[in-house]
Amino acid sequence: MKYTQLGEFEELVLLIIGSLGENAYSISIKEEFKQHTKRNPSIGALHSAFNRLEKKGFLESHEGGATNKRGGRSKRFYVITTYGRKALDDSFKLRSTLYHSLPQLGLSSE
């Protein structure tokens, strides 16, 4: 299988899902995303990202937790998979390696 890439938006969504733990579903993810990035992603954009990530095997989902506020409809909770965790690690590693190889000079001169 082709090596799957993580897009910037996908990576952020994945990180947020990981950090939210048990309570990761669309609305809470949207709120968290807004809080951290000051961006306000549409619900559609988020769902399409979930769908992609799930297809790539980074996420797992289960339904449940219907509330009155939702008109009695269930939520879909997302949990990060080990494969997803690994992808995040890889991504982080790659980034930090590249970051450390930045020339020091540029930084100290600031």
Site string for other proteins, 10-29 (x = CB under 8 A): ----------------xx--
- The region of 68-76, 80-88, 92-100, 102-110 touching other proteins under the rule CB under 8 A is 68-76
Geometric angle at alpha carbon 30, from 22 and 49, rounded to 5°: 90
Question: In which element (H, E) is residue 77 found?
Answer: strand 75-80
Answer yes or no whether residue 100 interacts with other proteins by CB under 8 A.
no
- Give whichever of 12 and 77 is closer to other proteins, judged by the CB atom: 77
How far from 89 is each of 2, 8, 22, 43, 82, CA to CA, in Å? 19, 14, 20, 27, 10
Residues at the site binding other proteins, with contacts judged by CB under 8 A: 26-27, 30, 42-45, 47-48, 51, 63, 66-67, 69-71, 73-76
